[in-house]
Structure 1
Amino acid sequence: MNKIYVLDTNVLLQDPFSIFSFEDNEVVIPAVVLEEVDSKKRYMDEIGRNARQVSKLIDRLRENGKLHEKIPLENGGSLRIELNHRSFHQLQEIFIEKTNDNRILAVAKNLSLEEATKENGKPVILVSKDTLVRVKADAIGLFAEDFLSDRVVEVDDIYSGFCDLYVSTETLNQFYERGEMALSDFTHHSFYPHQFLILRDALGSSSAIAMVDSSGKSIKKLTTKEPHIWGIKPRNVQQTMGVELLLRNDINLVTMVGKAGTGKTLLALAAGLLQTEDYGLYKKLLVARPIVPVGKDIGFLPGEKQEKLRPWMQPIFDNLEYLFNTKKPGELDAILAGMGSIEVEALTYIRGRSIPEQFIIIDEAQNLTKHEVKTILTRVGDKSKIVLMGDPQQIDHPYLDEYNNGLTYVVEKFKDQSIAGHVKLVKGERSSLAKLAADLL
């Protein structure tokens, strides 16, 4: 049976093309949703861009007919703008205020009541990314769903970049001796390029870390021979994997995810400094992060651009102070000014740039949308390497979650590409307190 899907504003602002995601069913957009979209189109951020995209898309669909009378969509479904069914009579004793959310609920409820009177009435489903709107809908007897079509992966399928593989003792010994083996010699499973395998014998008494080559057909020992990078040594298996990816010249895109305190930023900065300052492989180390506040925004900041950026970039400077072992106030600024090859920037200023021969680190990438992360990756110039990292479980963007953010999007789209590598850091190394807080809280 065909269904009627009533879309909340946040669905369109998250994905302007969401109206094509409901197959051959009927999509209804309440008039109040258009008002909300119109109020956002002047924003100069991702929400504003999506609002403008929605406006243009619906305007083009007008060529197919009158929007309030239902027009066909390419996927076999239909779309209409709901101008009727706005009566608040059914909800006035439950939700007193006529907020936009409640007006959308009223449209869905009235449509549902109308369909219930028909012999072959269709189920009416409200689609919203707002949890409380779905709760309200359930309270008044409406079906409600989250919009999941924008999710890159399902809940249990997020790629970690490594896996355990049990092999015979003989196979493990052969790998130690040769340093490489064809996957077909000991397993029928297929793996992604640059995926790490933790080889263990059946007794669990010995193990080895192997890395699938770029063809995905054989495994090799890790190539990194550095005992430490800028005074930093990997403290666990996953950090060792991360260092391997960061120092490999044939891997242009590295993604690292992990909870707070797992060492993502420190390892990336150390690897960038080693290859920029010591090896001279890159002309500059560029570090950037999106400006998304945690908690209430502190408003406008005084001073020049660098002074304004300092509070947002302070986590980067904290790690640089540790790497340079600075003790006095202003000492780090003097070092960075003297070097001239380290640039700490906000992502706000990256559009339109071309970034060749640079080691690029994008911190807190989980707060980026798919469009924003595409904008960043398409800025990467020749002979550059880019590292995206963050914690998908700590997202401050109102329309993103663990499964649809830009970082997860890149991990999933590039996991089978020979120029990319990924690892999930699982063990906190900042302090015993930080590790306990990340696990318990």
Structure 2
Amino acid sequence: MNKDDRKLFVLDTNVLLHEPLAIYSFKEHDVIIPMTVLEELDQIKDRKRDVSRDARVAIRALEDILGGEITPEEIVEGVNLPRREDHSDASGRLSIFPDHQLDFTNGSLPDINNDNRIINTALHLQKKHAPRTLVLVTKDINMRLKAKGAGILMVEDYRRDQLIDDVRFLTKGFHQFEGNFWDYTDKVSTESYGRHTVHKVPLTAFGDEPFYCNQYMLDDKSNFCGRIVEKTETELKFLDLGKDRLMHLEAWGIKPKNIYQGMAMQALMDPDIDLVILTGPAGCGKTLLAMAAALELVVERGLYDKVIVTRNTPEIAESIGFLPGTEEEKMTPWLGAITDTLEVLHKNDVNPAGSMNYIMEKANIQFKSINFMRGRSIQNSVVILDECQNLTASQLKTMITRMGEGTKLICSGNLAQIDTNYLTAVTSGLTYIVERFKDFDGSANIYLNGVVRSRLAEFAEENL
């Protein structure tokens, strides 16, 4: 490829924090890291926050390429990216631009902060390397607007881990047929395995509709409900569940209030499903179902040894040391949803407070910070990872790879309540794992359609 045909990508700091190895994601094109970005990474790497690890990984990746016998002149000019098995298409060059040597007093934007300095650097490089195309890549929405207004022709979000363009297209974990399911096909073969009935139907009966393993199927005219256990090129094999049976499931005294909760409870109570992903609006029952199922599986059925509850707590690493008590007690302010759920599960007991304390000891419920989960191997446990919508794909990967033998992971989140600056519904790690795991036979995903918390919560979800 001609040099003028290769693009120049200038990366903002938040791109490297979002994905530390982002420098390998631009194929044959060249990547430029302004010196200001290195300074920001240096300031972040020693913070007591989860993001500091990503900063250190990014710095080490740059050191692996630019360290050793590379001269300062070569670093500025650009060094060929080394070949990596997981990024075999990366063949461009990487360089560090010494923007601290430039005089930005007459720049397009006042030199008052790092964002403006990076934008001015991109403007300088756009002019210097014309007619080559220069692209500023940042996760910061406001910075993208400022850069456009300042005169940068190409400004983009970093979306390498974005698997869908619109969250409305995110798989919900079930497919609802119009009418009666059995009207779609008359070619059915049935097998019985103890209490379970499995049907096989030809795939051609449903046109081009995509189906996935452990996807639920239901219709709107009959009692039909099934879960796909196997899909081949010619047929679907699904477990016959039935809506009535799902609605009569029970875990720790909790019964489903709608069919979506019924499907979720069936997946939660199945020990053969290692990962259950629950999505849906506030008040749909995600946390309540997860905790009820966890207590049932640990205390009543004895299938697991303990319950570990964790969630994303961005500010916890800096403030946790100032709180009194053990790690579990320090985590209490961030896990109010879990303790609220335990109160609901035991509100009718003679002594609710005593019941909660007894169950927390009996089920060995542990509250853990996500910041301290790295390096662990969790065995024979039910792990509830709450508020997943605020995690990146790499953070969720780190958590999922902690799960050892005999462990069930329950991930839940609401994509309408993302609190972090650099994530949207389509770039959230929760969206990422829903799409990545939809073909995995050890996982199930259910969108809990409908608010059951209260009529006030339901009205607010629909009208606000």
Q: Give the TM-score taking structure 2 as reference length.
A: 0.83
Matched, 1:218 2:261: no
Distance 1:248 1:176, change over 3 A: farther
* 1:341-376 deviation per Cα after TM superposition (whole angstroms, max 9, x unaligned): 333333334333333222222111222333332332
Note if contact 1:86-1:110 (Cα within 8 Å) is conserved in structure 2: no
Following the alignment from structure 2 to structure 1, what is the Cα–Cα distance between the partners of residues 254 and 159?
41
2:206 is paired with a residue whose SS is coil
The partner residue of 2:36 within 32, 35, 41 is: 32
Which has the higher mean CA deviation after the structures are superposed, 242-251 or 273-282? 273-282
Tell me the residue number matched to 2:160: 149
Matched, 1:307 2:329: yes
Matched, 1:437 2:460: yes
The alpha-carbon deviation at position 256 of structure 1 amounts to 0.8
Note if contact 2:23-2:31 (Cα within 8 Å) is conserved in structure 1: yes
After TM superposition, list the pairs within 5 Å mapping 1:417-436 onto structure 2: 417-436=440-459
Distance 1:221 1:301, change over 3 A: same
2:278 is paired with a residue whose SS is strand
Tell me the residue number matched to 1:361: 384
Tell me the residue number matched to 1:187: 206
Following the alignment from structure 1 to structure 2, what is the Cα–Cα distance between the partners of residues 233 and 41?
47
Following the alignment from structure 2 to structure 1, what is the Cα–Cα distance between the partners of residues 161 and 45?
21
Amino acid aligned to 2:237 = S
Matched, 1:127 2:142: no
Unaligned runs of 5+ in 2: 84-89, 191-196
Matched, 1:260 2:282: yes
Which has the higher mean CA deviation after the structures are superposed, 164-173 or 256-265? 164-173
The alpha-carbon deviation at position 292 of structure 1 amounts to 3.7
Which has the higher mean CA deviation after the structures are superposed, 346-355 or 235-244? 346-355
Amino acid aligned to 1:210 = G
The partner residue of 1:79 within 80, 94, 99 is: 94
* 1:241-290 deviation per Cα after TM superposition (whole angstroms, max 9, x unaligned): 10110111221111111121110010111111222222222222222223
Amino acid aligned to 2:33 = I
Tell me the residue number matched to 1:107: 121
Following the alignment from structure 2 to structure 1, what is the Cα–Cα distance between the partners of residues 334 and 355?
17
Unaligned runs of 5+ in 1: none
Tell me the residue number matched to 2:430: 407
Distance 1:106 1:220, change over 3 A: same
* 1:62-88 deviation per Cα after TM superposition (whole angstroms, max 9, x unaligned): 256621012223523222211257331
Tell me the residue number matched to 2:77: 69
Distance 1:307 1:272, change over 3 A: closer
1:213 is paired with a residue whose SS is strand
Following the alignment from structure 1 to structure 2, what is the Cα–Cα distance between the partners of residues 111 and 412?
37
1:183 is paired with a residue whose SS is strand
The alpha-carbon deviation at position 394 of structure 1 amounts to 1.7
Tell me the residue number matched to 1:161: 173
Note if contact 2:383-2:407 (Cα within 8 Å) is conserved in structure 1: yes
Tell me the residue number matched to 1:350: 373
Following the alignment from structure 1 to structure 2, what is the Cα–Cα distance between the partners of residues 168 and 86?
70
Distance 1:170 1:289, change over 3 A: closer
Which has the higher mean CA deviation after the structures are superposed, 105-114 or 44-53? 44-53
2:202 is paired with a residue whose SS is helix
Identity %: 34
2:307 is paired with a residue whose SS is strand
Amino acid aligned to 2:421 = P
Following the alignment from structure 1 to structure 2, what is the Cα–Cα distance between the partners of residues 338 and 27?
53
Tell me the residue number matched to 1:209: 225
Amino acid aligned to 1:301 = L
* 1:38-67 deviation per Cα after TM superposition (whole angstroms, max 9, x unaligned): 111213443211221222222222256621
CA RMSD, 1 decimal: 3.0
Tell me the residue number matched to 2:87: none
Note if contact 2:264-2:446 (Cα within 8 Å) is conserved in structure 1: yes
Amino acid aligned to 2:212 = Y
The partner residue of 1:389 within 412, 422, 427 is: 412
